[in-house]
Amino acid sequence: MTSRIPRDSRLRLVRPRPLAAAPRAVNQRHPRRAAPRPPEGTPAPAELAGMARTGLAGAVRVARWADAALGPGRDGATADGKATLSEATAERAAADLGLSPAQIRADWDTARLAGLVEVHGDDARPGWRLRAWDRDDSAVLRGWVALFDAWSLACPEPEAHEPAAVAEVVSAMPQVLSFLQLSAGPVPVEQLLDLLQQRVTELRTERCEVSYEPGTGRPAGSPAPAEPAPAEAPLAPLLDWALRALASVGALTYGAGQATLTPLGSWAVWVKLEQICVAAQSPAGNIEQSAEDMLRGCAQLRPNAARAEYRAWLAARPVGSAVTELIHAARGDDALLRGLAFEALRVVGAPAEPEVRAVVDEPALRPYALLWLAEHDGVDPEDAHEALTREEATWLWVDTAAAVADHGEAPMLVRHLESAVQPTVPQLLDEVRAVGHPRTVQVLVALAAAHPDPALAKAVRRAAFQVHTGR
């Protein structure tokens, strides 16, 4: 989960690849390898999903309330277009659900971070995970992992500390969590503090900064202050904050001077270490499946194999109804299915043109439709991205990143940076924040968790926090 290889921390992007290739990135996977077995004693996925459902019950309750009360044509979730609940909406939800407004706000934030609810302007709608919550353990576990990745947003950070120090602790916590996972039991906080101090020193050394003496907060070799510092270990309050935040999302238990990973937390750290997917779906029997199930089955296939499945599926049904069904699947909340649906429509070709043109004005489908139409009109796929405005290309980058975050592996999300049209990461973050995609926070949190460069990850986390708080 960490690397000691020196790296250039300047916030740059490599030369971007054409964005036309981005929707295909998710199913361009490396050859499969046998999935490693989880550590002995790890609960079965169904049991883990049950734990996640219990821990996120409050968030699910608020998300379902929002689905019923804040959908299109009803009163908006916010008065200013931000994703935070307005006072009136929070009080209304509190009255309907028998909770306090403060609890409603906490559950609402959790639901957003777990991808259970999405906000579009003043409207809230359920995320695809909420739709699958009761029947799909994989969706539940992915929702919990999204919350786990966003632990630093789940609990307000200490105001008395510099943002740089907070970012260092966030960057160092994966190693602390790895140690907890390997320990497989309670670990004294003093031991975790020593490890945290060592990792923070390593991060500073990698950036060629002045090293700090452990526990003092001052540069090595500098004279001691005349008066003792109020806090011998300035990282201790930040470690306390990090452990409390991780406990709040259900990743660990914290108390009596020690911390222990929960079964969910241990499993999630193991998944991160092994870089495997939570679940894989079999492509068998796709020809008789609905468009959505067929696309999910094809998600694990290489492009050529997937196109063969699309052809077989299309051959078994009238082209008109097949196109309609694919468009309907593309309108769903799963970004992976959106990209794959338009790949299947490329196999359909000319008969799909009228319906593709008909969805150009739908914001969620517009970038995909414009790329499809450009390629249909004879534009080279490598140049089709020129049909998009900068804003549309940025929206598509976030949507594709959401698909990778939901269904891909961490290195794939890091490589997805290459497909951005922006020449630098700061420009990308500025435009991603402005584009208003409902999955922006989750994408940025997942990217920050996956990226090995501490400086870049810090900038991405800051952007995620600003979007999350509406700043």
Largest CA distance in the chain: 84
Q: Per residue in 367-415, pLDDT tens?
A: 999 999 999 888 888 888 889 999 999 999 999 999 998 887 778 888 8
Dihedral sign for Cα atoms in the order 326, 330, 336, 340: positive
pLDDT confidence of residue 196: 93
CA-to-CA distance for 28 and 299, rounded, in angstroms? Answer: 9
Instruction: Please determine, for residue 215, whether its predicted confidence score (pLDDT) is greater than 70.
Output: no
Predicted confidence (pLDDT) per residue in 188-209, tens digit: 999 999 999 998 888 888 766 5
At residue 176's C-alpha, the angle toward residues 179 and 404, to 5°, is 100
- Give bridge partners of residue 253 from the DSSP assignment: 260
Q: By the 8 A CB rule, do 319 and 345 touch?
A: no
CB count, 10 Å around CB of 350?
7
pLDDT, tens only, 329-365: 999 888 999 999 999 999 888 888 889 999 999 989 9
Nearest to 215 by CA among 197, 192, 230: 197
pLDDT at 320 over 70: yes
Cα 106 from Cα 159, distance rounded (Å): 19
Any residues with CB less than 8 A from the CB of 49 and at least 6 apart, and which? 137, 140, 141
Give me the DSSP letters along 293-326: HHHHHHTTS-HHHHHHHHHHHHHTS-HHHHHHHH
Neighbours of 221 (CB within 10 A): 8
Give, in degrees to the nearest 5, the angle at Cα 262 between 32 and 164: 85
- What is the rounded distance in angstroms from the CA atom of residue 321 to the CA atom of residue 355? 11
Mean pLDDT of 289-297: 89
| Amino acid 35: pLDDT | 54
pTM (global) more than 0.85: no
